[in-house]
Amino acid sequence: MLIVVFYVCVFFIGLSFGSFLNCLIYRLAKKQSLSGRSFCPHCKKQIAWYDNIPLISFVLLKGKCRHCQQKISWQYPLIELLMGTLFVLPLVGFFRSDVNFLVLGQKGFVLDILKILRTWSVYFILTFIFVYDLKYMMIEDSVLLSGAGLVLLLNLFAEPLANHLIDLSFWARSVQIFWTTLIGVGFFAVQYLLTKGKGIGLGDLRIGFFMAVALGHWSMICLALVISYFIGALVSLFLIVFKKKGLKSEIPLGPFLALGTFFVFIFGQEIINIIIRT
Ligand SMILES: [Zn+2]
């Protein structure tokens, strides 16, 4: 019973981070200050605390502003729900690479906490990249680079994502992250230079940097790049075939990179094990 209460609490922490992420996306895009109370984007009336409870208020208000009755975007409850779920899943050991709180303490409490913080931070930043690049076709460095710094620190001190790095020393792991970063940034830098900045933006270079520090091993980032480009090609083909986009229209790369990184962050080790065995 106690464990259920614990998971519900974590779910609400996740919801709050989802709510914060929504606010971050909106205010950064509108170049507004992050402090100050929330207000309705239509009627500009301040939102009372009881109308600002993640997910619950959206349901109670039936998705409309209390004052002007304008519809609230589905993005708000969706991101909140996503973050709530993504915060709980690693704790129940849903993914093999994650920590199961029921067996916590076997390898050291602090290491496990660091691992969970890394997982949450990576999910938070990837969701930010996905939504922000999809909506505004750009990336916000203040979030991306501070997120990369935090994840880099956590990755240096927590247990590495790739199993075969666990026994390596701190310095050996730092060197590994350095090479991974070189691949992550270099991959986009070469394309940037070749296309003279037309195909790839500088924002993609910075996303490459984040991917590298999040994944921490050359095999993982190579896999993430392959999967991202594969998803991107499939989606672009679909959009062109169904005439949603023309051949020349720009499709942001960030959402695909976020999806690929997310996938490899969870399943990368399993995929690499399969590749090694065959
Ligand atoms: Zn309103």
- Residues 108-136 pLDDT 10s: 677 778 888 999 999 999 999 999 999 99
The one-letter code for the residue type at 106 is Q
Residue type for 166, please?
I
Residue of 143, 133, 158 whose CA lies nearest to 17: 143
Expressed in angstroms and rounded, the spacing between residue 74 Cα and the centre of ligand 1 is 15
CA of 69 to the centre of ligand 1 (A): 6
For the stretch 247-254, contacts whose Cβ atoms lie closer than 8 Å and that sit 24 or more positions apart, written own/partner, are 250/137, 252/133, 252/134, 252/137, 253/133, 253/200, 253/201, 253/204, 253/207, 253/228, 254/129, 254/130, 254/132, 254/133, 254/134, 254/139, 254/203, 254/204, 254/207
More confident residue, 181 or 97: 181
Mean per-residue pLDDT, 189-206: 87
Q: How far apart are CA 63 and CA 247, in angstroms?
A: 36
pTM confidence score:
0.90
Q: Do the beta carbons of residue 43 and residue 70 sit within 8 Å?
A: yes
Ligand 1 mean position to 100 CA, how many Å? 42
CA of 64 to the centre of ligand 1 (A): 8
Tell me the percentage of the chain whose pLDDT exceeds 90: 56
More confident residue, 207 or 5: 207
Q: What spacing in Å lies between the alpha carbon of 22 and ligand 1's midpoint?
A: 17
More confident residue, 164 or 193: 193
* CA pair distance 115, 154, nearest whole angstrom: 7
Ligand 1 centroid–CA 21 distance in Å is 20
